Amino acid sequence: MAGQADWWRGAVIYQIYPRSYQDSNGDGVGDLQGITQRLDHIASLGADVIWISPFFTSPMKDFGYDVSNYCDVDPMFGALADFDALVARAHGLGLKVLIDLVLSHTSDQHPWFQQSRQNRSNDKADWFVWADAKPDGTPPNNWLSVFGGSAWAWDGRREQYYLHNFLTSQPDLNLHHAPVQDALLDVARFWLERGVDGFRLDTINFYFADKYLRDNPSLPAGLRNDSIAPKVNPYNHQIHLFSKNQPENLAFLQRFRAVLNPYNAAAVGEVGDAQRGLEIMAEYTSGGDKVQMCYPFEMLQPTRLSAGLLEQTFSRMTAVAPDAWPCWAYSNHDTIRHVTRWGLSDTAAKTYTVLLMCLRGSLCLYQGEELGLPEADIAFEDLQDPYGIQFWPEFKGRDGCRTPMVWVSDNGNGGFSEAKPWLPVTASHLSRSVAAQDQAVDSMLNHYRRALAFRRANKVLRDGDMTEITATGDLVQFMRNGEGAIFCAFNLGEGEVSTTLPTGSWAPVAGALGSSAAVQGKVTLGRWGFCLMQKE
């Protein structure tokens, strides 16, 4: 990685969904001890950092993203001592540890909300976003929930509505109220004192809502996309001008960064916005006094990342966020796995892996991605995700990417658990287990290991500059410059493409990854071929 002070720059971050990584106690649900047992796998992959999705005390209506105690471990995942042991083992393997903080909302079972909803005059009365009904009894404005329907729920005790950008059981905190900010910063300090190296900040652009509760404008049909919510969700019908992305967030992020700095800790913010994601990333990472990285959605969209789309993304980033440090990902716990979403063969998936390793920014890999796992097909009766249950069958939810990790091929649970897993293990995943791929030279797993090793060995790929990306048909090419220079050309299609090397003397690299060599300055790439050349 980069220097110790900016260890996060160019890091490869491996996301762990704890319910589905490894069950150590035979209850069918993954846990912290299970993660600790499997950290050697992540170290052997060559990742620099682990990001653990929420494991805090929770009623699990949204599987941990509804927190009822920020400073303890839910019993299904273990105890604080298990977390301490996990951190110690990770650090012993040279892995940094990020944990997922959900600061925009809590569970409705959190003591803060339980007190807030009692009346309008208690000590926590202003800790959540409450509003009176309109004269006709309807919600105070037209804001919509990401999970469908109104973003407002009625509470009979206060005779007011409360805001919930997600489930009704996830009330939004009121960060306009200074004591709320103070309490959340104390949460960050609690975990930093336990040795974490930073945070992935869930829904970072949802922290503040417009204090005047103004209506969101409508979004013309031609501009709608389903990068944030499925197309069947009316959430896509609005420009979310007032329900998120508020300017007050910048001052809070400065306060948050001031907490991080004494620990040399880092944060990556998830920017969920279909229209202004890159612009928000620029704002939130600007000035060196807010978060270090943001996690935009440009490569998580349903449409395959073609050469043209890649060029457009980086061209737009150059225009609106030239100094921002992105954190790119193809897959995560909220999206259909990219090999299925984009319809990729193993050959194509391997090329996209090398492409990701060559991009400027830090990177996130989602558990099982290194095995080439496709999306699991989950029957309705096995669904756990309330989002999928709400919109079935047009949208099947997020369970298909959350099924258990497959470690071995010779039992039906893939070595994940001795009990029935909380989500079924898909039979087609078993042949792609870690054990099945570990010794196979050309396996997806070993391709990822080689790709990560190549990035780690070339500092210019981790923190160097990148020239403008150019696309011609399926051909995309760019240069990485810094300590050395690497020319990168990728064929993101089935036909043959060709180009020429820049002026100078170039030597082939990454032959073990399958990189083609130039012949007399000319590069010819067959289907899904790529060429990486190092300046001599």
Structure tokens at 281: 């990333």
CA 377 to chain centre: 22
pLDDT in tens, 278-305: 999 999 999 999 999 998 889 999 999 9
Regions of the chain short of the pLDDT cut 70: 1-3, 226-228
CA angle 453, 366, 274 (to 5 degrees): 120
Q: Regarding beta strands 475-482 and 484-491, do their DSSP bridges make them parallel or antiparallel, or are they unpaired?
A: antiparallel
Residue where the block lists tokens 């013309």: 220
Contact 429, 403 (CB under 8 A): yes
Please report how many Cα atoms fall inside a 13 Å half-sphere around the Cα of residue 249, on the Cβ side.
26
Q: At what angle do helices 346-358 and 444-457 cross, to 10 degrees?
A: 20
The pLDDT of residue 227 is: 61
Q: Quick check: helix, strand or coil at residue 509?
A: coil
pTM above 0.85, yes or no: yes
The pLDDT of residue 403 is: 97
Tell me how far apart the alpha carbons of residues 47 and 44 are, in angstroms, rounded to a whole number: 8
**CATH 2.60.40.1180 domain span(s) along the chain:** 465-535
Residues 6+ apart with CB under 8 A from 180: 127, 173, 174
**CATH 3.20.20.80 domain span(s) along the chain:** 4-103+178-456
Q: Regarding beta strands 475-482 and 470-472, do their DSSP bridges make them parallel or antiparallel, or are they unpaired?
A: antiparallel
Tell me how far apart the alpha carbons of residues 384 and 378 are, in angstroms, rounded to a whole number: 10
Count the residues in the chain. 536
Residue where the block lists tokens 């991605």: 369
The pLDDT of residue 232 is: 82
DSSP secondary structure string for all residues of 162-208: EE-SS-TTSPBB-TTSHHHHHHHHHHHHHHHHTT--EEEETTGGGS-
Catalytic residues: 202, 270
Residues 6+ apart with CB under 8 A from 279: 320, 321
Residue where the block lists tokens 């090419």: 477
Q: Locate the DSSP E strands across 10-109.
A: 12-16, 49-52, 56-57, 69-73, 96-101
- Which is the CATH superfamily of the domain at 4-103+178-456? Glycosidases (3.20.20.80)
- CATH number for the region 465-535 comes to 2.60.40.1180
Contact 160, 234 (CB under 8 A): no
Tell me how far apart the alpha carbons of residues 56 and 38 are, in angstroms, rounded to a whole number: 20
Tell me the Cα Rg of the chain.
23
DSSP-assigned beta bridge partners for residue 52: 16, 99
Neighbours of 259 (CB within 10 A): 17
